[in-house]
Structure 1
């Protein structure tokens, strides 16, 4: 090992680091290190994500009858339960309170009728893995303490492994559609015309064919949006609060409009739209999940959707697609704001740890 590379050792309690520098080795106890704000934020959100997943999956595992799907959902439940316990321990190790979160016995009715099909449950769980992976990448790169780095790195690796497993099961059952293929090019080419970027207003002129990256983003977003739409529509059947139902119906209507626009971009280029053929929602009108938990998960998946639009904007080259993604992202953020305000109205929104208000302390 190069003398300039870090050499990290830990004692049996996993709290001691030895880091060599040019003038010798520095010894310090992890419990003496102030956690960074980024570390606290990611631990807090990871706790809530694992907590919410544990609640939903407890019911979904109980309802599953297909052996492979039940095994996959149980795998995810075990991972979520372990992550919940681990993040609780990490927060306590830095003397931070844990979020109030949710309680399975209070927020889940295990005996309530089935609302979503098994196909939906595994498709949604796979989507949540994508959401978790998207969350964990900056968590890994914004952590400094080795115990936090190790935790998030392990979470990222195992989440990717589970996503691969769920994909294999869904493909083997014919439930999951692959992204469409494109005609294989004969050679690599350079862009020679600035018209490659197209126009901000696609209806004024013909746009160039879609690139593989653009098709991938649009297809992925439509897949995610279809699942979230089904989740909102199903929950509309069972929520008790009229205000929550109105909000979920608004989310469904936004999804319908956005799906239509994105689908039009694909069909203009003779690219097939993604579709879900299975009947994913039953006729149940009895809720097995609390309104508070439904609203919280709805807000979380909406934020994931907005982030997916943001990622697409940074990589698509056609101007009309970029503008469309920005507009749709703004609509999703506006919905998330409405959901957060409703949660505040009901007293359901938890406050994340924040820095002190110096002006308030002074005055």
Structure 2
């Protein structure tokens, strides 16, 4: 039976998935299956009894998401991605990350979820998918709240820098307020400070993750690629930290010491490479948002330069995935030229 005939058999009120529905569902399936493997390793190696329930909560969310998408794709007769399975995680591997790092990873899962599910909600059109992402937004916020509360109770929650309250409302009267490349440079404003701080934090999480991946990966090309990403993250942390220090503002600490000395990999090289490329893609999105919110010209130049560097790095990672037959093709428009009889 052809696809057209199958579509005719469906209920007359059935709404086919649009590209705006497919994109977040398909991408989300990959990220959920990947994180599911990471969280299983966390759950098998965590020692802190306060952190364990939050890992279980987050792991339960990934399972719910995968079950929903699996069921939906089957109903739509849509191919289910291979993504990542139990073959991509080794539960017998020793502990690779500290409990503190696990907790920060969970917090950033919550942050990323509130952003990505909000975007998915905006792009989707079907009522059942709207309900799915509405629920995901709520649970991502819960994960963020739970992990933040534990970090705060343990005294390891890092906050963005404090700034003094203004005495009154002020207006900008000089174009030099935009300067930064030459001449007088005004102090950073609250939005610029916040973005620098968040970009340091996210790079630090990625830096430690890539440090861990690089010491347990087996494929030499994958190791070299991950080491390169680790070094890029380290450099970006220093660039952003220097901008904060120029205004006598503190920069958050990094997390390299939270990685163990284990050489036994909990994850497949495929998963570790995908996770690294995924972080690069997220980084480009973060830098784009920061660029749009920055009004100092030197910050604009910094974000443009660093975004270009990550873009090249991300492309190289995609090429490496293709080389190893690890990249599944995202659904897209019909290749019309391939249908021509020439």
TM-score range, shorter chain: over 0.9
Identify the residue that residue 8 of structure 1 maps to in structure 2: none
| Structure 1 position 362, deviation (Å) | 2.4
The 1:278–1:336 alpha-carbon spacing in structure 2 relative to 1, beyond 3 Å, is closer
| Structure 1 position 80, deviation (Å) | 0.7
**Deviation by residue 1:290-342 (Cα, 9 ceiling, x = unmatched):** 10010111111111111110110111111110111111111111111111100
Moved >2 Å (runs of 4+)? 28-32, 276-279
The yes-or-no answer on 1:280 pairing with 2:258 is: yes
The yes-or-no answer on 1:56 pairing with 2:46 is: no
Identify the residue that residue 114 of structure 1 maps to in structure 2: 95
The separation in 2 between residues aligned to 1:93 and 1:206, in whole angstroms, is: 62
| Structure 1 position 73, deviation (Å) | 0.6
Structure 2 residue runs of 5 or longer lacking an equivalent are: 1-9
User: Counterpart of 1:157 in 2: which secondary structure?
Assistant: helix
1:47–1:99 contact (8 Å) kept in structure 2: yes
Identify the residue that residue 21 of structure 1 maps to in structure 2: none
**Paired residue for 1:193, among 170, 174, 183?**
174
TM-score, normalized by length of structure 1?
Answer: 0.88
Identify the residue that residue 171 of structure 1 maps to in structure 2: 152
**Paired residue for 1:126, among 91, 107, 128?**
107
1:31–1:94 contact (8 Å) kept in structure 2: no
The separation in 2 between residues aligned to 1:59 and 1:230, in whole angstroms, is: 16
The separation in 2 between residues aligned to 1:312 and 1:30, in whole angstroms, is: 45
Q: What is the root-mean-square deviation in Å for CA atoms of aligned residues? A: 1.5
Identify the residue that residue 10 of structure 1 maps to in structure 2: none
**Deviation by residue 1:37-71 (Cα, 9 ceiling, x = unmatched):** 11011110111111111111111111111111111
User: Counterpart of 1:314 in 2: which secondary structure?
Assistant: helix
The separation in 2 between residues aligned to 1:167 and 1:214, in whole angstroms, is: 23
User: Counterpart of 1:313 in 2: which secondary structure?
Assistant: helix
The separation in 1 between residues aligned to 2:11 and 2:144, in whole angstroms, is: 36
**Deviation by residue 1:246-295 (Cα, 9 ceiling, x = unmatched):** 00111111112211111111111001111147830111111111100101
The separation in 2 between residues aligned to 1:257 and 1:53, in whole angstroms, is: 26
**Deviation by residue 1:218-255 (Cα, 9 ceiling, x = unmatched):** 00000000110011111111100111110011111111
The yes-or-no answer on 1:78 pairing with 2:56 is: no
Identify the residue that residue 230 of structure 2 maps to in structure 1: 252
The yes-or-no answer on 1:351 pairing with 2:324 is: no
Identify the residue that residue 142 of structure 2 maps to in structure 1: 161
1:31–1:93 contact (8 Å) kept in structure 2: no
The separation in 2 between residues aligned to 1:118 and 1:276, in whole angstroms, is: 15
| Structure 1 position 206, deviation (Å) | 3.2
| Structure 1 position 129, deviation (Å) | 2.2
Identify the residue that residue 4 of structure 2 maps to in structure 1: none
1:119–1:278 contact (8 Å) kept in structure 2: no
2:245–2:251 contact (8 Å) kept in structure 1: yes
| Structure 1 position 30, deviation (Å) | 8.1
The yes-or-no answer on 1:37 pairing with 2:19 is: yes
Structure whose CA Rg is larger = 1
The 1:31–1:103 alpha-carbon spacing in structure 2 relative to 1, beyond 3 Å, is farther
TM-score, normalized by length of structure 2?
Answer: 0.94
Identify the residue that residue 219 of structure 2 maps to in structure 1: 241
2:204–2:255 contact (8 Å) kept in structure 1: no
The separation in 2 between residues aligned to 1:131 and 1:304, in whole angstroms, is: 9
The separation in 1 between residues aligned to 2:318 and 2:147, in whole angstroms, is: 31
The separation in 2 between residues aligned to 1:254 and 1:123, in whole angstroms, is: 20
**Deviation by residue 1:60-94 (Cα, 9 ceiling, x = unmatched):** 11111111111111110011111111111122222
1:30–1:145 contact (8 Å) kept in structure 2: no
Length, aligned pairs only: 332
**Paired residue for 1:88, among 70, 81, 93?**
70
